[in-house]
Structure 1
């Protein structure tokens, strides 16, 4: 596995000296670019076969003594094997794909080197250049991954030197000149491959770093947005969500009911049981309200302190009254002990004030909330543990819990 080392200020430090990504980055790169790489290799292999077989004509001129062998090797061995590889290249995994390309290029270069070593024709030494072009093809057109390109270049250079040194009848001056020329070509091609591959890798790492930064920023934005819209104690939507929703719903056609909810005698609850118990009480109420706020047309929020709100969209006065009654009853059924109540009731209850925006009637958010708040105080003045509708909203002024309709 690759070991990370820095490749520059803009990279993510996930390349080793052989220009390998770390495992996670490599997997992501292949997922994004593997199919593109396979398609490009297929095209380049097929184009390369055309030029590779052009050298059958030069073999007839330079190596007439083994021209038949050259044609057989190129047309009947290298070409079918390469065509098969081109067909399969898009259907195999990235590691096997790059390894097969490496071994195929070894064979492609080995064939002309062997023919050069074998021929005894007077012009046979000129055939040595055939393999040089194959190196350029492998390192620059196929763009072998650098680790494979480096191994490929070393292997074929050693093979070329061996062929030159052991070739029978080669001019002594050529035994020195040909390896120097070959080595120079190898050096240029591997250097060019390194630059191409390094550019590919570092550019991808820059893009990946930018994407990661963007994703992190988006995640932070979503997290912040979630926090800025959520009450930290109860987990309900907060006042900001209430204001935004109320502004939008009041501008729409359907009827809207606003319910202001206050926990009855909550200060004595805290004074008697302590603030931790008070917070626990608010969380239990919030959990109940969250369960009751099902659907896109119901919103439960924490208004502040021991006050909560509900908003209902699409129902009239009767629907609002039934919902308020259900709220009062469900809180009562929780049976949260309240030993500090001055009225001696002994459990937690709520008071609810309801205001209604009728369908098709324009109402301001502030006006609607002011009416709901006034209705809340009327419900509290008339005994608590009940609800009251704002005057003019088509219901009795205040109804205690024992008289509510289920």
Structure 2
């Protein structure tokens, strides 16, 4: 599941301010190519001979036009058809589900109903332990005569039929099975159909993907009047609230479901983070001032989720590569850790962090989304 970045690709990160994901291999669209339907910064591109790929907001073809058909990117995932087989890619063109299925339908939480030959099963977007020392993406094996979704007692369920017998699996049971089988990011499942439509977030914007994910994962909401305010500066209080929500989800308690209000609306989040060991009592004296990038890195890296994310990049190489953070600086170890875990990518091709600068809501959405979802983390080297 490694996603490697060339020096040229990292250089493009400057415009995306810590959080963006750029496809590789960009090139100007050739004459005759049709481009339409932007969503999450990407558009379908069709060649004169009828093949499909994807283009970015600059109308550069960044995923080759090699597919029989493609769907719009949703939550950073694009379903593609290669020949007569279906698979799923992410925005750099890397396959998350190989194109080997006759039918493929996102069910819940990153699980897909799939057809192979005449049989049906369920596959996972992310590999998980197979119980034999390896990994697998097969959640339910291809032994069923049919697999479909239905509604049971007001909630969605999966129906698996084999030899005339049907098994009904409500989604809440499937979510629990994902946890038991150690499917990565199972605490932060993708919710089919939950997408925002904020008036101030363009489908061409680099942050459209991250806003979609942060909203879908119920980590961030709008600010009212159907707006997300992507360029608004995050405060310490907002960063603490976001950390508390991630901590609560990772722990499996219900704090993140509690509403916040009042003149000091963030007090409960501060108390929760202190009790969880994320903050020290009195660590911040002014919660309503802008949070710095270094402070946000410190807060997020101190969560249970931040500590649990496995390393994707050499920590020693990260320490030698980030030019504006050195050992002994405030939150240096936290910043290095989030680079090593594929959560941070820097603000330019040199991996510059800018620790004293502020953070926008769009940038915070990207960082939170990458923490929550394994398939969005990046390998830098």
Q: TM-score range by the shorter chain?
A: under 0.3
**Could you state the TM-score of these two structures normalised by the residue count of structure 1?**
0.20
Point out the structure with the larger strand share: 2
**Could you state the TM-score of these two structures normalised by the residue count of structure 2?**
0.21
